[in-house]
Chain A
C-alpha cells in the first residue's frame, strides 16, 4: 500500500522536475527580447484601431514606430499630445502633424435636392445599396444619399445626420482617420487640414441645365470662380475644383456664386480676409 503512494509521488515529482527543467532551459534559450518601449507606446496611442495610419492597428503601429519604420506623426488620430509623448519615449524629434478633419462636400439635403417621382426607394437604408439599386431618392447622381453609412463608420462619435438628411462632422471630435470617407459610396467626404476653410460643396458633374434642375445647392458650372481665380479653381467636367496650392481666396468672387456651391466651411460665421489662415498646400 505504502509502495503505491511512493511510486505515485516519485512519478509525479519526477515528471514535474523534468518539465520544470525543460521550461527553465527554454526560458533561457528561446528568450525573445521585446522592446519595452512598444508596450509603453501602445499605452499612449488612442487604441481605436481605426487604421488611419495605414497599419493593421495601434499595436502594429507601436511596433513599427519603435522600429523606426514609421514616423510618430503618422498617428493623426491622437493629435499633437500623443505625438509629443511618443517622441519623448523614443527620444526622437517630435514631428508636427496638422490636425485633419473630414469635410462633407455636399449641401444637397432633402430640402435642396429634387426628389424622384413615382419611384420612392424601398429597401435597406444603407448608402451603398441605394447607390447600386437605382441611385436613391434624389435626382442627383453624385450627391449625398442620406443613408448615414459614414455616421455608422465613425468610431469616434464625431458625426451625426441632421434634420435635413445630411451628415455633420463635429470638428472637435473628428480625428481625420478617414473611415467615413472610405465608407461613402459617392466620395462626398474628403479629409482636409483643419485650417483649410474654402470648399466647393458639390460633386455634381451634370451639365448646367441639369444640375440646376436636380439641386438648389449644386455647382452649375458657370465657371465664374474659375475665371477670376488665376488657377486657384479649375473647371473639371462641369464642376469647379479647388487647386489649393494656387488658391488665393481674395480673388474668388464668392458673392457671385448663385447657389453658394463654393463657400466657407462655416457659412454662418463670416470670416474676414485678415482672419483667413495661410493655406496648407
Chain B
C-alpha cells in the first residue's frame, strides 16, 4: 500500500533527533513578562487592567473584541507595570501589557467541567473564554473554527499531528506524553461539531507516536490514525485534507466546504486542559532547538516569557550562534530583539550557527520549473514573483497569487536563490488592497 500524501513538496533534513527524546520541562515564570494584545488572528484584545493592577495567574487581562478575537489571561501573579509597545516575534512593535511577577504561585482558574456530561455550547463558550488559538502556527481563534455555519455539513474532524517543519518536536511529545489529553481533546471537538468520525494524521517519521495513538484508539470504532508521508508542507491544512480524504479545498474556500475541520494536536491538548482543569491558554509548549543552543529541549513556558529567558533556561547560546528564529525554519521569523515574548502559538525557537546561515547570491531565473514542480498548491511561483516585480498585480491575481500560503517550498528549491516568497507576499498584499478598493467602489 502506498503511503498517502499530496503532489509536490520537499523533504528537508529533519533534525528532529536533537529534541525528540527530551521530556517536556516546565520553565518557571521570569521576573517580567510581556503580553502582546494580538497573539491571534483578528481584532486586537481590549485591556481590562490598568497600570498598577494586581493580577493572579489565570486572571483575565484583556478581553476579546468581537467574534474573531481572543481574550488574554495573565500566566503569573504580579503587578501590571506598563501598557505600551513591545517588539514581538513578527518583528514589529505591538501594544503590550507588561507584568512584573511577584513570585507567588496561587492560580485562579475557571471551574473544571466533566468532559463526559458537558454540552456542546458549554465547550464552545469555555474554548472562547480560555482564549484558545490554533497551535499550528496561524493562531486563528479556535472557538470560531468550532462554530461553522449551520448549512455546512461537517463529516470528519482531522487532528493534525504531522509536524512537518524540521526541528520541531512539540506535537510529537504531546502524543507520547499526553495521549489521553490529545484523544480527550479530539473527542471534545467531535462533540462540539456533532461529528462521529475523527482521524489523526501523523507523518511516518514518528513511529513511536503512531504506535501510541493506535494503541489508544484500538477500541474506538470511529477514531483512526492515518499515516502520511514525511514531506513538507504535509501539515498544511489543505495538504493534509488532500492526503487523507483525497478532497481538494478549492481556492478561496475553507476546509469546512469539503466537510472537514482540522485542529492541531496542541490545540486539542489546550481544549482538554481548559475543560478538565479550567486552565486558560497561559502556557506555550515549544521546542528550543538548533546547533546554536547548548541544551536543546522541549519546554512548557508561561506565555509572555522573553525569548532571552527561554534561551538562558536551555544553557544559553553557543559561541557560533548566528540566527534566532521563532517558529519553524521554513516559515518562522528571524529575531533581532530577544526581549520579544513567547506567544500563545509559538511552537519553537531555533538557533542556527554561522555555518548554517547561508546568504547566497541571487541569480537570474533559469526557467528550470523546479518551483512549479514542488508547489503544493499548483501555482507558478516564478511567474507570480515576476509579475509582482513588474507591478502587474491584476495578472498575478488571475493566476492565483492569493491562493499562496507562503510555505517557502519554492524558495527552498530554487537553484537561482530567488527570494520568491518575499515577492509573492508583496504581490498578495497589493492584490488584497486592489480587491478592497474594487469592492469599495462597487458599493
* B379 interface hit (Cβ, 8 Å): no
* A119 interface hit (Cβ, 8 Å): yes
Query: In whole Å, how far is A206's beta carbon from the nearest beta carbon of chain B?
Result: 8
> Once the chains are docked, how many angstroms separate the CA of A206 from the CA of B93?
10
Return the CB mask of A123-148 against B: 1 if under 8 Å, else 0: 11010110011110000010000000
Q: Are the C-beta atoms of B426 and A129 separated by less than 8 Å?
A: yes
* B322 interface hit (Cβ, 8 Å): yes
* B91 interface hit (Cβ, 8 Å): yes
Partner of A129, one of B322, B335, B423: B423
In the complex, residue of chain A having the shortest beta-carbon distance to the beta carbon of B385: A124
Q: Are the C-beta atoms of A124 and B423 separated by less than 8 Å?
A: yes
* A5 interface hit (Cβ, 8 Å): no
Q: Are the C-beta atoms of A123 and B324 separated by less than 8 Å?
A: no
* A122 interface hit (Cβ, 8 Å): yes
Given contacts A122-B359, A124-B419, A134-B91, contact A117 B336 (CB under 8 A): yes
> Once the chains are docked, how many angstroms separate the CA of A118 from the CA of B324?
8
* A88 interface hit (Cβ, 8 Å): no
> Once the chains are docked, how many angstroms separate the CA of A117 from the CA of B338?
10
Q: Are the C-beta atoms of A118 and B323 separated by less than 8 Å?
A: yes
Given contacts A116-B336, A118-B336, A119-B323, contact A132 B425 (CB under 8 A): yes
Q: How many A-B residue pairs have CB under 8 A?
A: 47
Given contacts A119-B336, A124-B423, contact A135 B92 (CB under 8 A): yes
* SS class, residues of chain B in contact with chain A: mixed
> Once the chains are docked, how many angstroms separate the CA of A207 from the CA of B324?
27
Query: In whole Å, how far is B2's beta carbon from the nearest beta carbon of chain A?
Result: 38
* B333 interface hit (Cβ, 8 Å): yes
Partner of B92, one of A122, A141, A206, A210: A141
Return the CB mask of B358-369 against A: 1 if under 8 Å, else 0: 010000000000
Query: In whole Å, how far is B291's beta carbon from the nearest beta carbon of chain A?
Result: 15
* B334 interface hit (Cβ, 8 Å): yes
* B422 interface hit (Cβ, 8 Å): yes
Contacting residues of chain B (92-139) with chain A, CB-CB under 8 angstroms: 92-93
**Size band of the A side of the interface?**
10 to 19
Return the CB mask of A19-33 against B: 1 if under 8 Å, else 0: 000000000000000
In the complex, which residues of chain B have a beta carbon less than 8 angstroms from the beta carbon of A132? Answer: 422, 425-426, 429
> Once the chains are docked, how many angstroms separate the CA of A117 from the CA of B317?
15
> Once the chains are docked, how many angstroms separate the CA of A123 from the CA of B425?
12
Query: In whole Å, how far is B81's beta carbon from the nearest beta carbon of chain A?
Result: 15
In the complex, residue of chain A having the shortest beta-carbon distance to the beta carbon of B429: A132
> Once the chains are docked, how many angstroms separate the CA of A116 from the CA of B337?
8
In the complex, which residues of chain A have a beta carbon less than 8 angstroms from the beta carbon of B93? Answer: 141
In the complex, residue of chain A having the shortest beta-carbon distance to the beta carbon of B334: A119
Q: Are the C-beta atoms of A135 and B426 separated by less than 8 Å?
A: no
Q: Are the C-beta atoms of B419 and A135 separated by less than 8 Å?
A: no
In the complex, residue of chain A having the shortest beta-carbon distance to the beta carbon of B91: A134
Q: Are the C-beta atoms of B322 and A133 separated by less than 8 Å?
A: no
In the complex, which residues of chain B have a beta carbon less than 8 angstroms from the beta carbon of A134? Answer: 91, 333-334
In the complex, residue of chain B having the shortest beta-carbon distance to the beta carbon of A122: B359
Q: Are the C-beta atoms of A133 and B425 separated by less than 8 Å?
A: yes
Query: In whole Å, how far is A23's beta carbon from the nearest beta carbon of chain B?
Result: 39
Q: Are the C-beta atoms of B91 and A135 separated by less than 8 Å?
A: yes
Query: In whole Å, how far is A32's beta carbon from the nearest beta carbon of chain B?
Result: 31
Return the CB mask of A204-246 against B: 1 if under 8 Å, else 0: 0011001000000000000000000000000000000000000
> Which of B92, B334, B336, B429 is most buried by chain A, counting CB atoms within 10 A of its CB?
B336
Query: In whole Å, how far is B345's beta carbon from the nearest beta carbon of chain A?
Result: 18
Q: Are the C-beta atoms of A118 and B91 separated by less than 8 Å?
A: no
Q: Are the C-beta atoms of A118 and B322 separated by less than 8 Å?
A: yes
Query: In whole Å, how far is B324's beta carbon from the nearest beta carbon of chain A?
Result: 6
Q: Are the C-beta atoms of B426 and A128 separated by less than 8 Å?
A: yes
Query: In whole Å, how far is B360's beta carbon from the nearest beta carbon of chain A?
Result: 9
Return the CB mask of B401-443 against A: 1 if under 8 Å, else 0: 0000000000000000001001101100100000000000000
> Once the chains are docked, how many angstroms separate the CA of A207 from the CA of B95?
13
> Once the chains are docked, how many angstroms separate the CA of A273 from the CA of B125?
68
In the complex, which residues of chain A have a beta carbon less than 8 angstroms from the beta carbon of B336? Answer: 116-119
Q: Are the C-beta atoms of A133 and B323 separated by less than 8 Å?
A: no
Query: In whole Å, how far is A147's beta carbon from the nearest beta carbon of chain B?
Result: 12
> Once the chains are docked, how many angstroms separate the CA of A134 from the CA of B336?
10
> Which of A117, A129, A207 is most buried by chain B, counting CB atoms within 10 A of its CB?
A129
In the complex, which residues of chain B have a beta carbon less than 8 angstroms from the beta carbon of A124? Answer: 419, 422-423
In the complex, which residues of chain B have a beta carbon less than 8 angstroms from the beta carbon of A133? Answer: 422, 425
Given contacts A134-B91, A135-B92, contact A119 B335 (CB under 8 A): yes
In the complex, which residues of chain A have a beta carbon less than 8 angstroms from the beta carbon of B389? Answer: 126
Contacting residues of chain B (192-218) with chain A, CB-CB under 8 angstroms: none
In the complex, which residues of chain B have a beta carbon less than 8 angstroms from the beta carbon of A118? Answer: 322-324, 334-336
Query: In whole Å, how far is B321's beta carbon from the nearest beta carbon of chain A?
Result: 8
In the complex, which residues of chain A have a beta carbon less than 8 angstroms from the beta carbon of B425? Answer: 129, 132-133
In the complex, which residues of chain B have a beta carbon less than 8 angstroms from the beta carbon of A120? Answer: 359
Query: In whole Å, how far is B255's beta carbon from the nearest beta carbon of chain A?
Result: 27
> Once the chains are docked, how many angstroms separate the CA of A46 from the CA of B91?
44
Beyond A117-B336, A119-B91, list 14 extra A-B contacts (CB 8 Å): A116-B337, A118-B335, A119-B336, A120-B359, A122-B419, A124-B422, A126-B389, A129-B419, A129-B423, A129-B426, A132-B429, A133-B422, A141-B92, A207-B84
Chain A residues proximal to chain B, CB less than 8 Å:
116-120, 122-124, 126, 128-129, 132-135, 141, 206-207, 210
Chain B residues proximal to chain A, CB less than 8 Å:
84-85, 91-93, 322-324, 333-337, 359, 389, 419, 422-423, 425-426, 429
Which 10 residue pairs of A and B lie closest in terms of their CB atoms, listed nearest first? A119-B336, A116-B336, A134-B91, A123-B419, A123-B422, A119-B334, A129-B422, A129-B426, A133-B422, A122-B359
- Can you list 8 contacts pairing A with B, beta carbon distance less than 8 Å? A116-B337, A118-B334, A120-B359, A128-B426, A129-B419, A129-B425, A133-B425, A134-B91
